[in-house]
Chain A
Amino acid sequence: MATASTEIRVTPAIAAEHGLSTEEYARVQQILGRDPNITELGIFSVMWSEHCSYKSSKVHLKRLPTRGKLVVQGPGENAGVVDIGGGLVAAFKIESHNHPSFVEAFQGAATGVGGILRDIFTMGARPIAVLDSLRFGPIVSGGGVSEAEAARNRRILDGVTRGIGFYGNCFGVPTVGGEVGFEPCYSANPLVNALALGIARKEELFFARARGAGNPVIYVGAKTGRDGIHGASLLASAEFTEESQQKRPNVQVGDPFLEKLLLEACLEAMHTGAVVAIQDMGAAGLTCSTCEMASRGGTGIEIDLARVPQRETGMTPYEIMLSESQERMLLVAERGREAEVLGVFAKWGLDAVVVGEVTEGGLLLVRDRGKVVAEIPAHPLAEEGPVYRRPLAPPAPRSETEADWFRFAPADADLTENLRRLLASPAVASKRWITEQYDTMVRTNTLDGPGAADAAVVRIKGTPRALALSTDGNGRWCRLNPRLGAMHAVAEAARNVACTGARPTAATNCLNFGSPEKPEVMWQFSEVVDGIAEACTAFGAPITGGNVSFYNETLGKSIYPTPVIGMLGILDDASRAVGQAFRAEGDVILLLDGLGEARSAGDAREFSSSEYAKTIGGIAAGEPPAIDLAAEKRLQDCLVALAAAGGIRSAHDLSDGGLAVAVAESCFGASGL
């Protein structure tokens, strides 16, 4: 397929090979009024892939709350944007790079970070922090996990960690937090979700909307190569089989130095005032950036591929349009001011070439040395792709009895030894061995880096404010009860933020699931969306964007439904930020109870879903704890008020391992306590 040329005649069989169903192919023929050529087929197949079109998730995502008085930009742009006061806005978003990270851990994770950073600076915002939410299979053997499997998981973790560090450290953005979890279901499908946060002046935000017929379309950044062709459609939108390792050529290769140049040059070019619109080339590369900019702007775009800087000779239009080479941007400049824009990129030593222009009429017209190789109405391609209301069905009810539950009998257990085991388990133990490989301090804004507080806290220089960010998700709970588990993910992320004293303000989500073609997976998805919607509404923290990652399965086995919530909070007075370590001998320790009406500690069914039950008893059953969202909201309001009044010196939420682990962790951070 990679060497396909425009001469290949498209048949329904070739369309099927591209992942288009019979109905989807008929729709392509209908939109074009004819059969597509091979380049056009490639373009449709990536734009209508699950990864780019959200065709299975769209109908559900509509139920998420996306509006709020501080929301400047909700879902649908490169990132969500929130007003943080003082004329500044925060752009933030989380995105997955799961499949590439399994195929090639280092480059998969590195380009995941690169992709989310581009999403942020495309908006005109300078990235100031990255967080990573990671899930791996067990890294310690035993309990049914072989040493070979554990060793492989350690290798993947090592590659992912190095990849994240390689990219972020060189780019110059601090990796300030995140979380790492371990469950057997992630052995053959690790999760790598990267969140980036950036800051811009409100009036200097940029959007990916082409306008002004005759305005030049400029390609900047890395040359286009044959890497990553069909990354979005073949890697991200299909499950893994035994042959998946052969997909390594579909993974892109990252160059953080080039991305750094791109960042500086793009921000500088934006400041000239000559840039009209800008979009990064991420998934589906040149295809996605051209048709989305045109579609959002209600215009057309015409480009000539002969002008596109190319890394290799003999690339076909099909390959150029579908390449996912990294560190590339497409921008629209004001006609007559090209020289200003090109001058900035020349200063930074980057390729920048006028490859086409904005047109009227809404057509994406692609030429190769003048000859038309693709001619597609941009709006139907970008926005009128297939939308599925896939069948939902709850999985067969778990037939659990009390015998399957964990019976906590303190009198018969060596609690001290069990606490030690909990503290030593990879999920609970300090993650310093991972986070020390990341530059957590560059840009000198990190008030609380990894492990210092329940959420990462970064100050905004030149203002009294700081932002707090936390990611959270509990797949084990979501498997047992997707809706309740999702509520907990939102609640814990918000609670982490509130523990620092920041007001939870807005959220981004990364929804990691199995195949949407399975009714029970779609049911989990639907339940999770409802759980997130209910909790976000209760906390007044709307969802401003995110990403859906389906087909997280290998050989037919799905991962746990794993929604990851990234919560952003605003701290009006950065000097009031609260950490998690105890501060002084003699201070009073308070236990704040947010359980409200849902109080049910000691319930064997709920205890069976705890970290303790998993680590000590090898049991993951029962139900997640009940939650009272109104009481949770009061608890968070209370934490924010206490911090603002300077009434507390530290705060730590009770999470995996409960009160015992929380107290231990608060001691670890303090010298001599």
Chain B
Amino acid sequence: MKFGVVVFPGSNCDHDTFHALGQVLRQPVELLWHQSKDLANCDAVILPGGFAYGDYLRTGAIARFAPVMDSVAKFAKSGGLVLGICNGFQILLEAGLLPGAMIRNAGLRFVCRHVYIRVEQTDTPFTCAARKGQILKVPIAHSDGNYTADTATLDELERNRQVIFRYTTPEGANDAAGNPNGSMRNIAGICNRERNIAGLMPHPERAVESALGSADGLVVFRSMVEALIGAAKATA
């Protein structure tokens, strides 16, 4: 089993993700350069946070054209696990691998702080190690994390149980008080219908050691490890 973390020139959470997987979870992990189409036989690909190509235009708008994204799209369509965190989520939206779009935060400012998200679905490779309804304390750090989609898309997401994380208060209420950026229906993370592609704005890789304020993010990566082990067993 091997994880790949894509490095766009402006990625700045690539090393944090690499550290979380390699040092904290002790999993094999490799950095994947944005100009290469070679995914190095990775079993899961993570698009990390940052500012892929500066994001002066629209977040992720240029990154979707990166050579590596062709391979990521092919990998995803063949069932490979792809997780986009923060900027990575924005890129997946721009690439059309997940539905919806990001607009400027409701407060029109960059927001960096710990928030609470609730695990809405546990039948995904990104949440299978979590309990349904589990509240995770995980940081956000973004200007454009206000998830937006038309009602039909939102309804379809709900119907297919694709909303996997929702912003909540510490007590678990998904009301305006728990919503840090104005996201529709408090959506913090979603997956595709096939459940092998997911994106979320909060940074689980920043919440893997209690010394840094929370280790709740570990469950996301642990889920991926479990899912990959399960898949390997199934094929064996």
Q: Could you tell me which A residues sit within 8 Å of B by CB distance?
A: 162, 165, 169-172, 255-258, 260-261, 264, 348-349, 436-444, 446-447, 459, 461, 574-575
13 pairs from A and B in contact (CB 8 Å cutoff): A162-B109, A169-B51, A170-B51, A172-B12, A257-B9, A258-B54, A348-B9, A442-B13, A442-B141, A444-B19, A444-B208, A444-B212, A461-B23
In the assembled complex, the Cα of A437 lies from the Cα of B108 at a distance in Å of 10
- Minimum CB–CB distance from B63 to chain A (whole Å) comes to 12
Q: Which residues of B1-39 are within 8 A (CB) of A?
A: 9-10, 12-13, 15-16, 19-20, 23
Residues of A within 8 A of B51 (CB): 169-170, 256-257, 260
Query: How many contacts between A and B, using CB within 8 angstroms?
Result: 80
**A446 with B110: CB separation less than 8 A:** no
Residues of B within 8 A of A447 (CB): 211-212
**A459 with B211: CB separation less than 8 A:** yes
| Nearest chain A residue, comparing its CB with the CB of B205 | A444
**B9 with A436: CB separation less than 8 A:** no
Say whether, besides A257-B53, A447-B212, A264 and B9 are in contact (CB < 8 Å). yes
Say whether, besides A436-B111, A444-B205, A260 and B12 are in contact (CB < 8 Å). yes
For B54, give its contact among A169, A255, A442 (CB under 8 Å): A255
- Minimum CB–CB distance from B105 to chain A (whole Å) comes to 11
Say whether, besides A438-B110, A440-B112, A169 and B141 are in contact (CB < 8 Å). yes
- Minimum CB–CB distance from B16 to chain A (whole Å) comes to 5
- Minimum CB–CB distance from B18 to chain A (whole Å) comes to 10
Residues of A within 8 A of B10 (CB): 170, 257, 260-261
In the assembled complex, the Cα of A442 lies from the Cα of B15 at a distance in Å of 10
**A441 with B9: CB separation less than 8 A:** no
**A443 with B109: CB separation less than 8 A:** no
Say yes or no: is B206 at the interface (Cβ < 8 Å to chain A): yes
Residues of B within 8 A of A258 (CB): 54
Residues 101-120 of B, flagged 1 when their CB comes within 8 A of A and 0 if not, give 00000000111110000000
| Nearest chain B residue, comparing its CB with the CB of A442 | B12
Q: Could you tell me which B residues sit within 8 Å of A by CB distance?
A: 9-10, 12-13, 15-16, 19-20, 23, 49-51, 53-56, 109-113, 139, 141, 143, 203, 205-206, 208-209, 211-212
**B9 with A169: CB separation less than 8 A:** no
For B211, give its contact among A172, A349, A441, A575 (CB under 8 Å): A575
- Minimum CB–CB distance from B144 to chain A (whole Å) comes to 12
In the assembled complex, the Cα of A162 lies from the Cα of B23 at a distance in Å of 34
In the assembled complex, the Cα of A447 lies from the Cα of B210 at a distance in Å of 10
- Minimum CB–CB distance from A434 to chain B (whole Å) comes to 10
- Minimum CB–CB distance from A266 to chain B (whole Å) comes to 14
**A436 with B113: CB separation less than 8 A:** yes
In the assembled complex, the Cα of A461 lies from the Cα of B16 at a distance in Å of 11
- Minimum CB–CB distance from A107 to chain B (whole Å) comes to 14
- Minimum CB–CB distance from B48 to chain A (whole Å) comes to 11
**A437 with B112: CB separation less than 8 A:** yes
- Minimum CB–CB distance from A518 to chain B (whole Å) comes to 40
| Nearest chain A residue, comparing its CB with the CB of B208 | A444
In the assembled complex, the Cα of A436 lies from the Cα of B141 at a distance in Å of 9
Say whether, besides A169-B141, A170-B51, A436 and B112 are in contact (CB < 8 Å). yes
| Nearest chain B residue, comparing its CB with the CB of A466 | B211
Residues of A within 8 A of B15 (CB): 443
For B110, give its contact among A171, A439, A443 (CB under 8 Å): A439
In the assembled complex, the Cα of A69 lies from the Cα of B56 at a distance in Å of 46
- Minimum CB–CB distance from B32 to chain A (whole Å) comes to 15
Residues of A within 8 A of B206 (CB): 441-442, 444
**A165 with B9: CB separation less than 8 A:** no
- Minimum CB–CB distance from A142 to chain B (whole Å) comes to 26
Residues of B within 8 A of A441 (CB): 112, 139, 141, 203, 206, 212
Say whether, besides A441-B212, A444-B16, A170 and B112 are in contact (CB < 8 Å). no
- Minimum CB–CB distance from B23 to chain A (whole Å) comes to 8
Residues of B within 8 A of A165 (CB): 110
Q: Given A436-B112, A444-B19, 7 other A-B contacts at CB below 8 A?
A: A169-B110, A169-B143, A256-B51, A257-B54, A437-B109, A437-B111, A441-B141
Say whether, besides A439-B141, A447-B211, A257 and B56 are in contact (CB < 8 Å). yes
In the assembled complex, the Cα of A258 lies from the Cα of B111 at a distance in Å of 23
| Nearest chain B residue, comparing its CB with the CB of A257 | B54
In the assembled complex, the Cα of A165 lies from the Cα of B205 at a distance in Å of 21
Query: Lowest 4 CB-CB distances: which A-B pairs, in order?
Result: A172-B12, A257-B54, A444-B16, A170-B51
Say whether, besides A165-B110, A170-B54, A444-B212, A260 and B9 are in contact (CB < 8 Å). yes
| Nearest chain A residue, comparing its CB with the CB of B139 | A441
- Minimum CB–CB distance from A166 to chain B (whole Å) comes to 8
- Minimum CB–CB distance from B230 to chain A (whole Å) comes to 28
In the assembled complex, the Cα of A575 lies from the Cα of B12 at a distance in Å of 26
| Nearest chain A residue, comparing its CB with the CB of B112 | A439
Residues of B within 8 A of A438 (CB): 110, 112
Residues of B within 8 A of A348 (CB): 9
Residues of A within 8 A of B208 (CB): 444
Residues of A within 8 A of B139 (CB): 441
Residues of A within 8 A of B56 (CB): 257
In the assembled complex, the Cα of A442 lies from the Cα of B139 at a distance in Å of 10
In the assembled complex, the Cα of A574 lies from the Cα of B212 at a distance in Å of 11
Residues of B within 8 A of A170 (CB): 10, 12, 51, 54-55
- Minimum CB–CB distance from A334 to chain B (whole Å) comes to 26
- Minimum CB–CB distance from A64 to chain B (whole Å) comes to 36
In the assembled complex, the Cα of A567 lies from the Cα of B160 at a distance in Å of 55
In the assembled complex, the Cα of A523 lies from the Cα of B51 at a distance in Å of 47
| Nearest chain A residue, comparing its CB with the CB of B24 | A444
- Minimum CB–CB distance from B46 to chain A (whole Å) comes to 15
- Minimum CB–CB distance from B9 to chain A (whole Å) comes to 6
- Minimum CB–CB distance from B217 to chain A (whole Å) comes to 10
**B212 with A261: CB separation less than 8 A:** no
In the assembled complex, the Cα of A493 lies from the Cα of B22 at a distance in Å of 37
- Minimum CB–CB distance from A464 to chain B (whole Å) comes to 12
| Nearest chain A residue, comparing its CB with the CB of B17 | A444
**B212 with A446: CB separation less than 8 A:** yes
Residues of B within 8 A of A255 (CB): 54
- Minimum CB–CB distance from B53 to chain A (whole Å) comes to 7
| Nearest chain A residue, comparing its CB with the CB of B141 | A439
In the assembled complex, the Cα of A255 lies from the Cα of B111 at a distance in Å of 20
For B9, give its contact among A256, A349, A446, A574 (CB under 8 Å): A349
In the assembled complex, the Cα of A443 lies from the Cα of B50 at a distance in Å of 11
Residues of A within 8 A of B112 (CB): 169, 436-441
